[in-house]
Amino acid sequence: MKSLRSENYTKEFVSTFPGDDSGDLNPRQTPGKLYSKAVPTPVEKVTLLAWSGELAAELGIKKPEEQQELDILGGNHVTEAMYPYAACYAGHQFGSWAGQLGDGRAIILGEWQIPDAKTVELQLKGAGPTAYSRRADGRAVLRSSVREYLMSEAMHYLGIPTTRALSLVATGEPVLRDMFYNGNAAYEPGAIVMRVAPSFLRFGNFELLNARKEHEQLRQLVDWTISRYYPHIQGEDKVITWFKEVIERTASLVVEWQRVGFVHGVMNTDNMSILGLTIDYGPYSFLDDYDPDFTPNTTDLPGRRYAFGRQPSIAYWNLGCLAAALLPLVEKDLLLPALESYKEVYWRKYYTMMGNKLGLDKLKSGDTDLISQFENTLADVKPDMTIFFQLLIDLPLYMGSTSEVAAYFKDSLYEDLTEEQSAQLYTLITAYLERLNKNTITRQDSQELMRKTNPRFILRNYLLHQAIEGLEKGETELFEKLQQALKEPYSNKYDEFFETRPGWATQKAGCSMLSCSS
Ligand code: AMP
Ligand code: MG
């Protein structure tokens, strides 16, 4: 195990690509540059709030003990072995071209060398302004940092590709935020998360170089990405092969989100990882009640562009932006069919996942109709998604009446069923039981498959909200319990959290919907 103060870093990105090494933190455009040096701005006092021991062990990082090591986690200490920088990227936000964006409050300290493995980037989020902060302060509040810290770890333990969080520290400094965007700005405690990923490159890094017509650098970045992160791809047609793999990974990622009912909330192209990781946790949410139109992001409300049910098609739209950025390197005639293949790839993966969720053996003809019937019925009845699928695992193999079915699913419901809804649910469950009957695997194996596919514990927004309220008052009990529970999402060990969202949380800000203010 090595200390964060050790020399165990490389500086590959900054020594490969042109950057602005001046260290100037004034906001500006940086044409011709892929990054700008940004030394973190020191904070009042760095206090450790959370440390991911298992991740640290995997990375070979020793838990900080002395203040100087802790200071690294809050940007108060940067060593010679590091080279702190903010990456320059662009993106499409809510469907419109936004031009240069860049890491406005994220600073990569360096690439950490994992023993006998590759490197990961260590990045501080909230460590002060960079050349890309535009009019904002480069800081993050405790509220959003706790959400990022817990949720990225929760996604990891759910088995979903994600950036990780190594640490969460308080800065001892207040940060001014207008949480509801209504002119009532208030001070909130500041915090910093140390994020970890093999790479934080986004679709937007590639879009930027194409928009600036820096084709040589675009080629260099694509080559670098392939050789470092997709080393199995070689040969003359490697760029198109790579693009197809990015499509595969992105489709897999979204299928995983749909599996657990995760809504990202801000699927802008600058928040789409080139490695297919869940990245940039903001106003995200799990579904409580099953609603394809649900978006957790108040800014997204008019169009619901980033609603649960639209995530698969938005991913396709975003891949289209990436394809457009690659036009200087690959012929359109190759890019377009590759892009179109997303649909086939997505549906194939999606139906396989849904088959697993439902405990079906191999998909048979008619199964896609049954899956659609599930989607439609759930959208009408709006049960709690997580609880519904848990109940489905132990469904009695005979259900004689409408009322029996309604009673069985009662604990997953937010509202009493209408007669029509009861009938619809009964028809669905009858069809499902018929299909289960045709399974060639045993009931036990089918239930095993369902238990592995359907989480029982999810980090609901109201739980996060309560944990944050506690932390702001210095109470750590719920925060710590959630850190444990999120490590075993498929077990029933934390059934104290196995209940529908309480009524009081339905309309409360932060418990269902959130703003981008963070
Ligand atoms: P997001 O939608 O949260 O991924 O952020 C979009 C852009 O805004 C990114 O370039 C961020 O770095 C930047 N940004 C968000 N919050 C801040 C902040 N407090 N200070 C500086 N830049 C920010
Ligand atoms: Mg972002």
Residues 235-254 pLDDT 10s: 999 999 999 999 999 999 99
Closest residue by Cα to residue 170 from 193, 186, 151: 193
Ligand nearest to the CA of 90: 1
What Å distances lie between residue 262 and 131, 290, 403, 458, CA to CA?
32, 11, 31, 9
State the distance from the centre of ligand 2 to the C-alpha of 101, rounded, in angstroms: 9
Q: What is the pLDDT of residue 187?
A: 96
Q: What is the pLDDT of residue 306?
A: 98
Residue 19 reports pLDDT greater than 90: yes
State the distance from the centre of ligand 1 to the C-alpha of 118, rounded, in angstroms: 28
Residue 117 reports pLDDT greater than 90: no
DSSP state of 348: H
| DSSP, residue by residue, 385-407 | HHHHHHHHHT--S---SHHHHHH
**Residue 148 · residue 193 · CB < 8 Å:** yes
What mean pLDDT value characterizes the chain? 97
- Dig out the tokens for 161 from the structure: 């590709």
Catalytic residue among 20, 71, 103, 270: 270
Residue for token digits 């649909």? 343
Which residue's alpha carbon is at the smallest distance from atom 15 of ligand 1? Answer: 104
- Dig out the tokens for 331 from the structure: 């012929």
pLDDT bucket at 517, cuts 50 / 70 / 90: confident
Q: What is the pLDDT of residue 392?
A: 98
3-state SS, residue 51: strand
Binding residue ranges for Mg(2+): 271, 280
State the Cα–Cα distance between residues 102 and 137, nearest whole angstrom.
14
End-to-end, the C-alpha distance of the chain in Å comes to 34
Q: What is the pLDDT of residue 311?
A: 98
pLDDT tens figures, 59-95: 999 999 999 999 999 999 999 999 999 999 999 999 9
Q: For ligand 1, is residue 271 a contact (CB within 6 Å)?
A: yes
pLDDT bucket at 310, cuts 50 / 70 / 90: very high
Q: For ligand 1, is residue 272 a contact (CB within 6 Å)?
A: no
Q: For ligand 1, is residue 136 a contact (CB within 6 Å)?
A: yes
pLDDT bucket at 411, cuts 50 / 70 / 90: very high
Residue 161 reports pLDDT greater than 90: yes
State the distance from the centre of ligand 2 to the C-alpha of 280, rounded, in angstroms: 5
Active-site residue, 116 included: no
Residue 420 reports pLDDT greater than 90: yes
3-state SS, residue 282: coil
Element (H, E) at 49: strand 47-51
pLDDT bucket at 119, cuts 50 / 70 / 90: very high
Atom of ligand 1 nearest to the CA of 89: 10
Classify burial at 447, counting beta carbons within 10 Å of its beta carbon; exposed 0-12, middle 13-18, buried 19 or more.
middle
- Dig out the tokens for 455 from the structure: 């989480």
Among the ranges given (55-59, 389-393, 504-508), the one the predictor scored with the smallest mean pLDDT = 504-508
**Helix, strand, coil share of the chain (percent; to 5):** 45, 15, 40
Among the ranges given (82-86, 175-179, 262-266), the one the predictor scored with the smallest mean pLDDT = 175-179
3-state SS, residue 469: helix
To the question of pTM greater than 0.75 for the whole model, the response is: yes
Q: For ligand 1, is residue 137 a contact (CB within 6 Å)?
A: yes
State the distance from the centre of ligand 1 to the C-alpha of 138, rounded, in angstroms: 8
Q: What is the pLDDT of residue 116?
A: 86
- Looking at residue 275, its amino acid is L
Name every residue whose Cβ is closer than 8 Å to that of residue 400 and which is 6 or more positions away in sequence: none
| DSSP, residue by residue, 82-143 | ---EEE--EEEETTEEEEE---SSEEEEEEEE-TTS-EEEEEEESS---TT-TTS-S--BHH
Which residue's alpha carbon is at the smallest distance from atom 8 of ligand 1? Answer: 104
Q: For ligand 1, is residue 413 a contact (CB within 6 Å)?
A: no
Average pLDDT over residues 310-315: 98
**Residue 166 · residue 56 · CB < 8 Å:** yes
pLDDT bucket at 197, cuts 50 / 70 / 90: very high
Average pLDDT over residues 169-189: 94
Q: Sign of the C-alpha dihedral, residues 363, 368, 369, 372?
A: positive
Q: What is the pLDDT of residue 286?
A: 98
Q: What is the pLDDT of residue 71?
A: 98
Identify which has the larger pLDDT, 184 or 128: 128
3-state SS, residue 286: strand
**Residue 341 · residue 243 · CB < 8 Å:** no
Q: What is the pLDDT of residue 509?
A: 84
DSSP state of 187: E
Percent of the chain topping pLDDT 70: 100
State the Cα–Cα distance between residues 490 and 456, nearest whole angstrom.
5
Q: What is the pLDDT of residue 410?
A: 98
User: How many degrees, rounded to 5, is the angle at CA 121 between CA 308 and CA 188?
Assistant: 60
Closest residue by Cα to residue 299 from 320, 343, 278, 268: 268
Q: What is the pLDDT of residue 459?
A: 98
Closest residue by Cα to residue 288 from 508, 460, 147: 460
